[in-house]
Structure 1
Amino acid sequence: MTDKTLHIVGGGMAGSEAAWQAAHMGVDVVLHEMRPAVETFAHQSGDFAEMVCSNSFRSDDDEQNAVGLLHWEMRQAGGLIMSSADKHRLPAGGALAVDREAFAQHVTARLRALPNISVEYGEVTELPTDGTWVFATGPLTSPALGEAIARETGTDRLAFFDAIAPIVYADSIDMDVVWAQSRYDKGETEEEQKAYLNCPMTKVQYEAFIDALLAADKTEFHDGETATYFDGCLPIEVMAERGRETLRFGPMKPVGLTNAHKPEDKPYAVVQLRRDNALGTLFNIVGFQTKMRYGAQADVFKSIPGLENASFARLGGIHRNTFMNSPTLLDDQMRLKSRPNLRFAGQVTGVEGYVESAAMGLLAGRLAAAEILGRDVPTAPQNTAMGALIHHITGGAEAKTFQPMNVNFGLFQPVDGLKAGRRGRKDRYKAYTDRAKLEWTGWLANFA
């Protein structure tokens, strides 16, 4: 290795993307990964960029959706995560879903194929005093490293709880009850229009399901530990506790769907399943993150019409996620203010979601590599999706109430001069994305 070396800790979405970007800028990269030697609750392999919660990168609409715009920006920057997702894409209506195992294997192979990336396996437990580093350890940052960060920053680690949805074997689903259809038949091809499996419920069945959900045995937390959840990934039983109709207006909403077996019957609620691998042998239950204990899960989920004989490849679960109070700790180049040789990226900085994590890795990798090469590159423009996110986590958010955030148009600065005909939400979002694409293209020119 030369002295122009970037050390990256963590081989998840953010770390993988940071390594890819920095290596393509000509910097030598050492990627430190503790798995599989040190296991986590959620991971099942030692592959990079393993998807543990869902197999979806959410909407791919780059004109009307902020996360779709983030997809576009990453593709324009030659992002590894997006190119790998595109290669292993599964039908999912307007969403970008992938075969998670093939996706992770592809990311791993692409990174290992680069001659200026080396991998060191083992746990990093301290913050180094020299060298240039990016810490992308994610929400499952190890306790030892978490303590090191806490000592350096002088703050207690913040945390919320995240939940995982179960996965069902396709051949155990009763297709005489269940039908294939994307909501509102969304998708350009028949395969996309039938990307989801739908389990219908009558009102009686729904009420019984809610009763079972509320009564089920659930995971308890340690003494003195408060359960704080990220609203975008709430356990279904927590949603049910907020009101008996909450699920019916959330992941179990019946709108935009017609029962192919009984077109005249309008379901009171619908449970959707989304394909989880390219073979179509696995389906995850959409929005059904849970903190129920394993035995209770099997009983409750088998009460869903069409899943009476379901066999589970993986049951759901809940785990503690760690993130920093980035508005007080990081500068606009993602550097730790007290240790400028250290950058942080991904979910540990307080962004939420696979795409957002990878995007912060992309920025951190490029900014760190530019610094090593002696190039002065400004942070991403605030009017871009990436810029809106980084502005939020490094100063735009209120530090006292800082919580993980997905990208959304609420983080964008208003577009000046919208004409009367462009004041609707659709036109406003298009104005946001048009402006963002122009400014993102201009920012990428810094690396030409």
Structure 2
Amino acid sequence: MSELHIIGGGMAGSEAAWQAAEAGVRVVLHEMRPEVGTFAHKTGQLAEMVCSNSFRSDDDEQNAVGLLHWEMREAGGLLIRMADRHRLPAGGALAVDRDAFADEITATLKAHPNVTVEHGEITALPEDGQWIIATGPLTSSALAEAILAETDTEALAFFDAIAPIVYAETVDMDVAWRQSRYDKGETEEERTAYLNCPMTKAEYEAFIDALLAAEKTEFKEGETAGYFDGCLPIEVMAERGRETLRFGPMKPVGLTNPHQPEQKPYAVVQLRRDNKLGTLYNIVGFQTKMKYGAQTEVLRMIPGLSEAKFARLGGIHRNTFLNSPRLLDDQMRLRSRPRIRFAGQITGVEGYVESAAMGLLAGRLAVAELRGETLAPVPPTTATGALVTHITGGADAKTFQPMNVNFGLFPPVDAKGGRKGRRDRYKAYTDRAKADWAAWLRGAGLDAQAGAA
């Protein structure tokens, strides 16, 4: 078989490379980092993540992203296996030690006999060969311009934000305490996975005032893209109403302050472990566009963080994605150049897990094509199938926006048999998806390879 070239060594590109290489295809993985950096990345490692909680819920019976985890495990996904290996205690979530995760994926792919990693920027669309473009939302400007020229369309875009990371030793534990919301988790370590900083009503009101008044990063002239709702900056949420944060990332429910057990906090800021050593903590839900100086002043108003030191401050950046329903076919190929597939967040799926899942599928689709075969469509009743169906025709091209996996993308389940409540309905979705995914893997001849991986 011919070589498969993949541009982008993030979640989608790394997973696509693994799937193809394990199937016997020679892969050249092109990654521009570290020669060309981005706003969010700090290293040249493959599959580098910004947030330790990028995999989100691991509940495969009641949550669509947990179901996606299950499907990737069944298909022999490299990234989900490494996430399991480097997981951190986080209640019911699958949080990951980002550095160890990226280090092992980089070493694994570079050691694979069928994989060659080439560092350097690709600035134009290839003219021949089989390619997957998985450059993500931070695609380099030169390649983005080449894609725009080929597709004859204006780029769709949105603004994304990242949250600050605090050094754990600088959190005042005479104020903060360890507890997962509702004590969720099977072990003591999981039940105490979060640091909690309580606020009184007066402290909350003062924090909101400072947040609204803080100096913000302004968009450049001509930048009119909106925000992705899953990563709204905290000040944008606060502008929607003074109580918005208290019913969002700062909700005080499911927590008891052992320092003042009789006093219920008016609001609570949670911090989640960001590495295995427990030396770094991410401020949960605190994506921000405040300028750096303002961030340190405002965030130190949080009780327990008055002396906080930051390993990384938050920030905002522009993300781009394709109008995939119009530009891609059902094999994730560019209609005008079918030798080129797209995968990952650039296709309009939102989230690292969704990106990796689309990389897994794109890699398998490319392998089949190189063999002169065509894989059967993935059932839309599965999490993977619901995503790929959405981006390749299920969504309206006129209003297409990035989307996380969710049960709203699935065909409705039959409500018969007493499945009327939400938990029963979600269980019906996941039961059906697991059966259909297993059948699709068997029909595609992938189940044996999944077990071997």
TM tier relative to shorter chain: over 0.9
How far is 1:4 from its partner?
1.8
- Separation in structure 1 between the aligned mates of residue 57 and residue 50 of structure 2, nearest angstrom: 19
Pairing partner for 2:439 from 435, 439, 442: 442
Q: Does 1:137 align with 2:125?
A: no
Q: Residue 69 of structure 1 aligns to a residue in which SS?
A: helix
The SS at the match of 1:260 is coil
Is 1:172 the equivalent of 2:177? Answer: no
1:397 counterpart = 2:361: no
Distance (whole Å) between structure 2 residues aligned to residue 118 and residue 386 of structure 1: 27
Task: Please state whether the residue corresponding to 2:147 is helix, strand or coil.
Answer: helix
Deviation at 1:168, TM superposition (A): 0.2
2:111 is matched with 113
Deviations for 1:386-425, whole angstroms, at most 9, x for unmatched residues? 0000101111111111110000000000122522x21111
Measure, in 2, the Cα distance between the counterparts of 1:214 and 1:405. 28
Determine which of 43, 46, 54 is the counterpart of 2:41: 43
For the Cα contact (< 8 Å) 1:54–1:165, is it kept in 2?
A: no
| Structure 1 residue 375, shift from structure 2 partner | 2.1
Verify: 1:55 aligned to 2:59, yes or no.
no
User: Which residue pairs with 1:248 in the alignment?
Assistant: 246
Q: CA deviation at 1:373?
A: 1.4
In structure 2, what residue type is equivalent to 1:233?
C
Contact 1:53 1:163 in 2 (8 A): no
Is 2:348 the partner of 1:350? yes
- Matched residues in 2 for 1:247 and 1:379: separation? 42
Contact 1:198 1:270 in 2 (8 A): yes
Kept after mapping to 2: 8 A contact 1:92/1:196: yes
Report the Cα offset of residue 254 of structure 1: 0.4
Q: 1:158 aligns with which of 156, 160, 164?
A: 156
C-alpha distance in 1 between matches for 2:54 and 2:182: 19
Deviations 1:199-249 (A, max 9, x none): 000000000000000000000111121141000000000000011000000
Aligned residues: 445
Calculate the TM-score normalised by the size of structure 2: 0.97
Q: Say what the alpha-carbon RMSD is for the aligned residues.
A: 0.9
Match of 2:450 in 1: none
Please state whether the residue corresponding to 2:318 is helix, strand or coil: strand
Amino acid at match of 2:411: Q
1:6/1:29 contact within 8 Å kept: yes
Matches within 5 A, 1:279-294: 279-294=277-292
From 373, 376, 388, the equivalent of 1:375 is: 373
What secondary structure, in the 3-state scheme, does the structure 2 residue paired with 1:270 have?
A: strand
Contact 2:55 2:93 in 1 (8 A): yes
Residue identity opposite 1:194 in structure 2: T
The equivalent of 1:257 in structure 2 is 255
Q: Which moved more, 1:48-57 or 1:254-263?
A: 48-57
Cα deviation code 1:148-189 (max 9, x no counterpart): 110111101111000010000000000000000000000001
After superposition, the Cα gap between the structure-2 partners of 1:226 and 1:54, relative to the gap in structure 1 and judged at 3 Å, is farther
Offset, 1:54: 4.5
**What is the SS of the residue equivalent to 1:94?**
coil
Q: Secondary structure at the match of 1:436?
A: helix
Q: How far apart, in 2, do the equivalents of 1:390 and 1:423 lie?
A: 28
In 1, distance between residues paired with 2:436 and 2:268?
A: 42
Q: Is the 8 A contact 1:90 1:278 kept in 2?
A: yes
Q: Are the equivalent residues in 1 in contact too, given 2:323–2:348 (CA < 8 A)?
A: yes
Alignment of 1:44-443 (within 5 A): 44-416=42-414, 418-419=416-417, 421-443=418-440
SS in 2 for 1:198: strand
SS of 2:55's equivalent in the other structure is: strand
Q: What's the secondary structure of 1:18's corresponding residue?
A: helix
Native 8 Å contact 1:389 1:411 kept in 2: yes
The percentage of aligned residue pairs carrying the same residue is 77
Asked if 1 retains the 8 angstrom alpha-carbon contact of 2:52 and 2:96, the reply is no
Mapped to 2, the partners of 1:45 and 1:315 lie a distance apart of 17
Query: Structure 2: which 5+ residue stretches go unaligned?
Result: 447-453
Provide the C-alpha distance between the structure 1 equivalents of 2:282 and 2:441, rounded to a whole number of angstroms.
37
Determine if contact 1:58/1:97 at 8 Å carries over to the other structure: yes
**CA distance in structure 2 between the aligned counterparts of 1:4 and 1:378, rounded to whole angstroms:** 22
Structure 1 runs of 4+ with >4 Å offset? none
The answer to whether the 8 A contact 1:55-1:100 is kept is: no
**Equivalent-residue separation in structure 1 for 2:109 and 2:26 (angstroms):** 12
